């Protein structure tokens, strides 16, 4: 250095370390080049040489502060500080004011550093990161992207950049759909972006975090034709392929390349793009050659640029700024007979002069025109680049001062189409498929025609006793209800494909009315029949058993009236409206378009749907349960007045079971329109068809078997109650008598056997008597011959087979196989049993057990 005095400045360079920005790798050699050039200029700092004492901060704020204290607390006194990396400059920039030191940063982009209150002596040749934001907004507007997301590393530099971006997006009416941040691991943040359907994403992070993000982008498939990522442009070239193993990244180079393809970058112009000579006498190109040479000397290969290569001109120009500011300060101090050597950390006067000189510094550097705003920020152009086939292509420049975008139209998009800022969602109404609708409507129509034919059948054969005793009015009401229920199937299938959303509420109302009234008529008629049967069989007094037909109509009518009241109030107070249920987005098949389908399903609902449905279902549910009870109670009763009560009971079972199954199942499958419609329709169809079959098929069969049978009981109407009861009584008595006669027949059979045995014995006895008489006569003759004879004995009258005695009574029953005749002869009762083989046996009461006949009038 000869006899020249030294002007000392301190330098803090982030070179080593693994986090943040290690731009000192290229910036420190660039600064040393500037030191050489400054010191070789005789017109600059005459009599002095600039000396740079520096150390590595690893881009860690704590270590950066330690390096600063080391520089300040060790002689010589430093006139200014050079710093790089926002995190370190935030620490030293805030502290430097305490030492009256101007800090000039060549590598800090944090917008927070533009706060003059907090950093009153801070300047930078590096533009603030906020210069990217107008450029980003301009590019977004160019492609009509109005919905973007932000992913940021949790560092102040990026937080303050995002805050500025949010304000600008709001002004430009660009929606920020989500803002995700991460400290070290971006996995969750990237996953959230996908969940939020982010398509255009601004990513703000240091390069090592950028590699982690890119790997996650690959894993979550957030790249390709549907996505655009905006990264920071100051990463070194091939940043996405470097250090993958060192940083334990779980992605291959090929995967990283795939994920990086098509992304855009914005960066402040850090290299003078005009080939003009700068303050050092070099063009930017000359500087690049010298820098490359210097880097090669430090072991960096020509092809792989070290971190900070982009910012190297800023470091070079920063040293020139310091030299120019010191030069100017020296001139000013000379004017007031002072020397810059008088500076110490408490000399506010010289410090102010240094600040003013730096603030006024303007020159053409290798990074472009160097000038500082009132906030100490560098004013610069920004450039936009896009990665195409693994290389950055320049797309254009943006001058924020003139709001001028120079665009080269070199952008390329995968698939040849500009990506959309959101998934285009096409709403698709889920409607009942035509096949199902037509099938159900056809079956329902057949059922309706069948019900109408049954009404006709009932009318034609209304005079038949068979029809009269089945309560035809109830049957007719039931058929009308069935027709209404079947019609509701058609209404249930009428959805958005057939009716407009304005007409839909009308269909909703019609469905409720049709089904509710149909149920009340069809089920109510069956219920009233079974209720009548129950009344007839459970009441003891005749008058209580009498159920007038009008009571049945009143019963069905009251069910209908309750329906009308509930439905009218429902419709008046809280009418059914069309509501839409949305389902998760679906990817459409057979289309290359970047769209998704949003399925929607129409429902009929009112505000207090649960209350209304609860009311209606509760009341009808009670009817079902009560009907089930009545049907069970009267299961074995057969009444002449209602000849089809058992079949009606079976119909009720059928309706109850189907309703119990249908209600919960439809709740479960309500989101599947086809299944739900088919299930409800089939339940209605099954109920209606089975009820019609059970009640009417036996009648039709009967009529077919006896087609010629004329009207029974014409003009007489249905039998009276008394007749009915007499008929029942006679039936019971007939059963008792048949049982009794069967017993008697058995006894008679036994008796007949006994009598036959007796007759045989008697016949033998007579033969013996005759023999004895003959012997006696012989003996008498012999005795007469001998001279003596006994007086004749009086013979007792006996009943013999075929003998004639006064007949008391004859009991003959049509069901008997024998008849029994009672006689009284010789003062003793006798019985003659006449058997079918015409033989008769006569016995007196000594021969047979006593037979008790309960001879009532009805037998006579």
Kindly list the residues in this chain that would bind ligand ABU in the complex (CB under 6 A). Answer: 21, 23, 85-86, 107-110, 126, 157, 234, 311
What is the distance between the alpha carbons of residues 438 and 569, in angstroms, rounded to a whole number? Answer: 33
Smaller CB separation from ligand ABU, 85 or 694: 85
246-259 burial, b if ≥16 CB within 10 A, otherwise e?
eeebebeeebbbbb
Closest approach of ligand ABU to the CB of residue 107, in Å: 5
- Beta carbon nearer to ligand ABU, 131 or 489: 131
Question: Closest approach of Cβ 87 to ligand ABU, in Å?
Answer: 6
Smallest separation, CB 55 to ligand ABU (Å): 17
Least distance (Å) from ligand ABU to the CB of residue 369?
19
In 3D, which of 293, 357, 359, 284 has the Cα closest to residue 316? 284
In terms of CB distance, is 272 or 468 closer to ligand ABU? Answer: 272
Question: How many residues does the structure list for the chain?
Answer: 860
| Shortest distance (Å) from residue 96 CB to ligand ABU | 17
Q: How far apart are CA 774 and CA 21, in angstroms?
A: 161
In the complex, the smallest distance separating the C-beta of residue 602 from ligand ABU, rounded to whole angstroms, is: 55
* Residues 509/513/514/519 CA torsion (nearest 10 deg): 140
Closest contact distance (angstroms) between CB of 85 and ligand ABU is 4
Cα torsion 250, 252, 253, 259: sign: negative
Could you give the C-alpha distances from 679 to 341, 440, 518, 658, in angstroms and in order? 98, 10, 18, 11
* Residues 810, 351: Cα–Cα separation, whole Å: 155
State the distance between the two ends of the chain, measured CA to CA, in whole angstroms: 161
Question: Taking the complex as a whole, how short is the minimal distance between the CB of residue 9 and ligand ABU, in angstroms?
Answer: 20
Dihedral angle, C-alpha 335, 336, 341, 343, nearest 10 ° = -130
Judged by CB, which is closer to ligand ABU: 21, or 490? 21
**Quick one: 89 or 333, whose CB is closer to ligand ABU?**
89
Residue 810, token pair as written in the block: 């004859």
Q: Please identify, using beta-carbon distances, which residue of 22 and 673 lies nearer to ligand ABU.
A: 22
State the nearest-atom distance from the C-beta of 245 to ligand ABU, in Å: 24
Query: Cβ closer to ligand ABU: 84 or 481?
Result: 84
Interatomic CA distance for residues 808 and 424, integer angstroms:
111
Nearer to ligand ABU, 240 or 689 (CB): 240
Give least dist CB 314 to ligand ABU, A: 8
Dist. CA 39–CA 323, nearest whole Å: 9
Q: Which residues pair with 151 in a beta bridge?
A: 180, 203
3-state class (DSSP) for residue 584: coil
Q: CB of residue 603 vs ligand ABU: minimum separation in angstroms?
A: 56
Specify the residue, 21 or 99, whose C-beta has the smaller distance to ligand ABU. Answer: 21
118 near 365, Cβ under 8 Å? Answer: no
Q: Tokens standing for 352?
A: 């102010």
CB closer to ligand ABU, 128 vs 280: 128
In the numeric block, the tokens 């020249």 are attached to 4
Q: Which is nearer to ligand ABU, 50 or 157 (CB)?
A: 157
Q: How far is the CB of 151 from ligand ABU (least distance, A)?
A: 17
Smallest gap from Cβ 105 to ligand ABU, in A, equals 8
d(CA 829, CA 808): 9
Residue number with CB closer to ligand ABU (22 or 676): 22
**Residue located via tokens 């600040």:** 355
- Going through 211-263 in order, the beta strands assigned E by DSSP cover 228-232
Nearer to ligand ABU, 157 or 833 (CB): 157
Q: Tell me how far, at minimum, the Cβ of 577 lies from ligand ABU, in Å.
A: 57
Strand order in the sheet with 807-811: 807-811, 819-825, 828-834, 840-844
> Which token pair is 43?
């017109």
**Which tokens belong to 209?**
């975090």
**Are β-strands 391-399 and 382-388 bridged in parallel, bridged antiparallel, or unpaired?**
antiparallel
Eight-class DSSP state of 857:
G
Nearer to ligand ABU, 109 or 114 (CB): 109
Range 76-106 burial, b when 16+ CB lie within 10 A, else e? ebbbbbbbbbbbbbbbbbbbbbebbbbbbbb
Backbone angles phi, psi at 364, to 5 degrees: -95, 115
For ligand ABU, which is the closer residue by CB, 159 or 506? 159
Q: Rounded to an integer, what distance in angstroms lies between the CA atom of residue 93 and that of residue 96?
A: 5
Structure tokens given for 733: 């008595």
Instruction: Give the helix/strand (H/E) hosting 783.
Output: helix 721-786
Element (H, E) at 148: strand 147-153
**Nearer to ligand ABU by C-beta: 107 or 186?**
107
Is-contact 280 320, C-beta < 8 A? yes
**DSSP string for residues in 664-683:** HHHHHTTT-HHHHHHHHHHH
Q: How far is the CB of 109 from ligand ABU (least distance, A)?
A: 4
Q: Is 185 helix (H, G, I), strand (E, B) or coil?
A: coil
| 110 vs 367, beta carbon nearer ligand ABU | 110
Least Å distance between CB 381 and ligand ABU? 15
How distant, in Å, are the alpha carbons of 396, 409, 489 from that of 413? 16, 12, 52
CB-based burial label for 771 (10 Å; 0-12, 13-18, 19+): exposed
Distance in angstroms (rounded) separating the CA atoms of residues 677 and 493:
7
Between 205 and 287, CB nearer to ligand ABU: 205
Nearest Cα to Cα of residue 219 among 239, 193, 246:
193
């Amino acid at each position: 250095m000869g006899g020249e005095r030294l002007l000392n400045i301190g330098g803090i360079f982030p070179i080593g370390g693994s986090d943040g920005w290690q731009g000192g790798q290229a910036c420190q050699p660039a600064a040393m080049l500037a030191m050489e050039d400054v010191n070789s200029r005789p017109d600059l700092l005459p009599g002095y040489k600039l000396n740079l004492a520096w150390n590595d901060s690893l881009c860690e704020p704590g270590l950066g502060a330690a390096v600063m204290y080391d520089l300040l607390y060790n002689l010589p006194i430093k006139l200014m500080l050079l710093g790089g990396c926002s995190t370190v400059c935030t620490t030293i920039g805030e502290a430097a004011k305490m030492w009256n030191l101007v800090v000039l940063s060549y590598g800090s982009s944090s917008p927070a550093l533009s706060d003059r209150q907090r950093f009153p002596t801070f300047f930078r040749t590096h533009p603030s990161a906020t210069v990217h934001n107008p450029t980003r907004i301009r590019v977004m507007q160019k492609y009509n992207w109005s919905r973007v997301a932000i992913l940021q590393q949790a560092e102040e530099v990026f937080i303050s950049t995002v805050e500025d971006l949010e304000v600008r997006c709001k002004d430009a009416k660009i929606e920020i759909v989500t803002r995700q941040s991460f400290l070290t691991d971006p996995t969750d943040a990237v996953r959230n972006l996908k969940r939020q359907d982010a398509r255009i994403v601004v990513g703000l992070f240091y390069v090592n975090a950028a590699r982690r993000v890119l790997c996650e982008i690959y894993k979550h498939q957030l790249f390709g034709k549907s996505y655009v990522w905006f990264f920071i442009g100051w990463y070194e070239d091939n940043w996405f392929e470097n250090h993958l193993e060192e940083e334990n990244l779980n992605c291959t180079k090929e995967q990283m390349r795939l994920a990086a393809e098509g992304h855009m970058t914005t960066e402040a112009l850090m290299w003078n793009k005009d080939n003009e000579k700068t303050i050092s006498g070099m063009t930017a190109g000359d500087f690049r050659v010298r820098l490359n040479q210097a880097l090669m000397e430090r072991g960096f290969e020509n092809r792989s640029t070290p971190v900070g290569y982009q910012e190297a001109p800023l470091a070079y120009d920063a040293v020139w700024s310091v030299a120019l500011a010191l030069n100017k300060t020296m001139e000013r101090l000379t004017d007031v007979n002072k020397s810059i050597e008088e500076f110490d950390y408490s000399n506010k006067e010289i410090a102010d002069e240094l600040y003013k000189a730096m603030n006024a510094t303007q020159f053409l550097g290798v990074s472009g025109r160097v000038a500082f705003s009132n906030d100490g920020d560098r004013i610069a152009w920004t450039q936009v680049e896009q990665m195409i086939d693994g290389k950055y292509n320049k797309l254009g420049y943006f001058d924020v001062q003139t709001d001028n975008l120079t665009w080269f139209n070199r952008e390329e998009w995968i698939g040849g189409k500009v990506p959309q800022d959101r998934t285009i969602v096409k709403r698709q109404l889920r409607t009942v498929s035509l096949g199902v609708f037509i099938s159900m409507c056809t079956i329902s129509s057949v059922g309706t025609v069948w019900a109408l034919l049954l009404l006709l059948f009932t009318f034609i054969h209304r005079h038949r006793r068979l029809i009269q005793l089945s309560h035809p009015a109830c049957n007719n009401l039931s058929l009308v209800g069935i027709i209404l229920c079947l019609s509701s199937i058609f209404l249930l299938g009428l959805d958005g494909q057939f009716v407009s959303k304005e007409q839909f509420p009308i269909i909703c109302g019609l469905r409720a009315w049709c089904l509710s009234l149909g149920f009340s008529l069809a089920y109510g008629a069956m219920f009233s029949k079974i209720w009548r049967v129950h009344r007839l069989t459970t009441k003891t007094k005749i008058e209580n058993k009498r159920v007038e037909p009008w009571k049945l109509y009143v019963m069905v009518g009251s069910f209908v009236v309750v329906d009308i009241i509930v439905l009218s109030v429902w419709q008046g107070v809280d009418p059914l409206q069309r509501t839409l249920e949305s389902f998760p987005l679906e990817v459409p098949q057979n289309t290359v378009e970047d769209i998704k389908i949003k399925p929607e399903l129409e429902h009929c609902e009112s505000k207090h749907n649960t209350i209304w449905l609860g009311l209606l279902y509760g009341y009808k549910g009670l009817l079902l349960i009560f009907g089930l009870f009545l049907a069970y109670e009267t299961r074995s009763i057969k009444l002449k007045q209602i000849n089809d009560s058992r079949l009606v009971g079976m119909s009720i079972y059928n309706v109850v079971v189907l309703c119990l199954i249908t209600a919960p199942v439809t709740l479960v499958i309500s989101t599947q329109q086809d299944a739900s419609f088919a299930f409800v329709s089939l339940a209605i169809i099954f109920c209606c068809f089975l009820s019609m079959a059970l009640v009417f098929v036996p009648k039709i069969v009967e009529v077919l078997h006896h087609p010629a049978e004329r009207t029974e009981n014409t003009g007489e109407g249905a039998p009276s109650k008394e007749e009915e009861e007499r008929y029942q009584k006679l039936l019971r008595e007939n059963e008792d008598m048949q049982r009794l006669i069967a017993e008697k027949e058995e006894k008679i059979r036994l008796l007949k056997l006994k009598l036959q045995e007796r007759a045989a014995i008697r016949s033998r006895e007579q033969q013996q008597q005759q023999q004895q008489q003959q012997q006696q006569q012989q003996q008498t003759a012999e005795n007469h011959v001998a001279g003596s004879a006994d007086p004749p004995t009086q013979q007792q009258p006996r009943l013999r087979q075929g003998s004639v005695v006064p007949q008391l009574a004859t009991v003959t029953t049509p069901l008997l196989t024998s008849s029994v005749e009672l006689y009284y002869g010789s003062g003793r009762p006798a019985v003659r049993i006449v058997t079918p083989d015409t033989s008769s046996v006569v016995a007196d009461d000594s021969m047979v057990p006593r037979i008790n006949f309960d001879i009532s009038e009805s037998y006579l």
